């Protein structure tokens, strides 16, 4: 098959593009490199630098494409609170642009990468797809809006659509920006450098951490299965881990004693998150294989930033 992966030079997009290329598919990538790096991509992947709001450029890349994976997005929750207009322009406007270009080019299916953040604070766990979303940030709002646009436009224009709500994905080469870094690479860096692990809130809040290779398995399945049109499907590990327990596990995996420091002046976000994977198992035959302890060890082994620091 021929695929286009938007945001395909990013952390998750590059892992997906490389997997598709390794499976023998023709893979095109478009990325504006605001957060991506084409060095992550296999030589077999056809890379184009560009913006998903540039429809003429999208038209040139969509010829013969059977399925689009739409990952291009801004992804920082704290940043979205400061710059909601930019998040709307990219995450919502960019999604609509991709759908318009797909309609014009005759592409038949899109897989949207959404986020578990759309659930917000819920009274019950695990989080099922039929729960009423309660987004708590402009980022989460933009992802939910993208879901609605994709499903509605897909219905109107005869495009097959599926949205995968990916929870806290992690893995080797996950970006470590100076501000608002994801918790797992941030904790690993702090532990290996002898620093304290700073956690926000009370440290009891839980998240569902899912290894990047497991996410890619779900994404790969979503392109071809026949019974997912108009569906929203969770992709996670199905296990919730508190931030305090994550800190203890990081200490064990790195072999470094750590001192967690609670910063109660900043919110830790929603209190609990755990993905219900019933639908993913039924529709995608998805069963996560890599637990958190093993996943952390793989990050330590495969990411030079941490393997070299450990040595």
56 Cβ contact list (under 8 Å, min separation 6): none
SS (H, E, C) 201-269: CCCCCEECEEEHHHHHHHHHHHCCCCCCCCEEEEECCCCCEEHHHHHHHHHHHHCCCCCEEEECCCCCC
Q: Residue 28 forms beta bridges with which residues?
A: 4, 46
Q: Which residues partner with 163 through β-bridges?
A: 112, 232
The catalytic position among 87, 119, 139, 211 is 139
Distance of CA 248 to the CA centre of its chain: 24
Q: Name the token pair of 62.
A: 């969509």
Handedness of CA 95, 138, 14, 218 (dihedral sign): negative
Distances 14 to 30, 71, 184 between C-alpha atoms, Å: 11, 10, 19
Judge whether 87 counts as a catalytic residue: no
As annotated, the active-site residues are 139
């Amino acid at each position: 098959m021929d695929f286009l992966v938007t945001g395909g030079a990013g952390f998750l997009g590059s892992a997906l593009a490389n997997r598709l290329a390794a499976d023998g598919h023709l893979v095109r990538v478009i990325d504006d490199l605001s957060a991506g790096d084409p060095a992550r991509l296999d030589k077999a992947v056809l890379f184009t630098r560009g913006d998903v709001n540039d429809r003429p450029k999208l038209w040139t890349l969509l010829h013969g494409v059977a399925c689009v994976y739409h990952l291009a997005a801004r992804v920082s929750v704290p940043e979205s609170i400061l710059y909601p207009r930019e998040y709307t322009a990219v995450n919502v406007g960019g999604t609509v642009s991709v759908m318009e270009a797909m309609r014009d080019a005759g592409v038949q299916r899109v897989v949207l990468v959404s986020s578990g953040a759309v659930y917000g604070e819920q009274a019950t766990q695990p989080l099922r797809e039929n729960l009423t979303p309660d987004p708590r940030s402009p980022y989460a709002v933009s992802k939910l809006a993208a879901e609605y646009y994709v499903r509605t436009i897909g219905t109107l224009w005869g495009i097959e659509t599926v949205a995968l709500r990916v929870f806290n994905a992690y893995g080797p080469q996950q970006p470590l920006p100076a501000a608002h870094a994801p918790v797992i690479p941030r904790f690993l860096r702090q532990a290996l450098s002898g620093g304290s692990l700073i956690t926000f809130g009370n440290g009891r809040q839980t998240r569902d951490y899912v290894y990047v290779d497991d996410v890619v398995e779900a994404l790969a399945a979503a392109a071809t299965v026949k019974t997912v049109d108009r569906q929203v499907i969770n992709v996670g590990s199905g296990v919730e881990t508190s931030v305090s327990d994550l800190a203890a596990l990081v200490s064990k995996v790195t072999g470094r004693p750590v001192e967690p420091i609670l910063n109660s002046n900043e919110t830790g976000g929603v209190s609990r998150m755990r993905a219900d994977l019933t639908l993913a198992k039924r529709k995608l035959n998805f069963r996560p294989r890599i637990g958190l302890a093993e996943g952390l060890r793989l990050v330590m082994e495969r990411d030079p930033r941490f393997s070299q620091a450990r040595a």
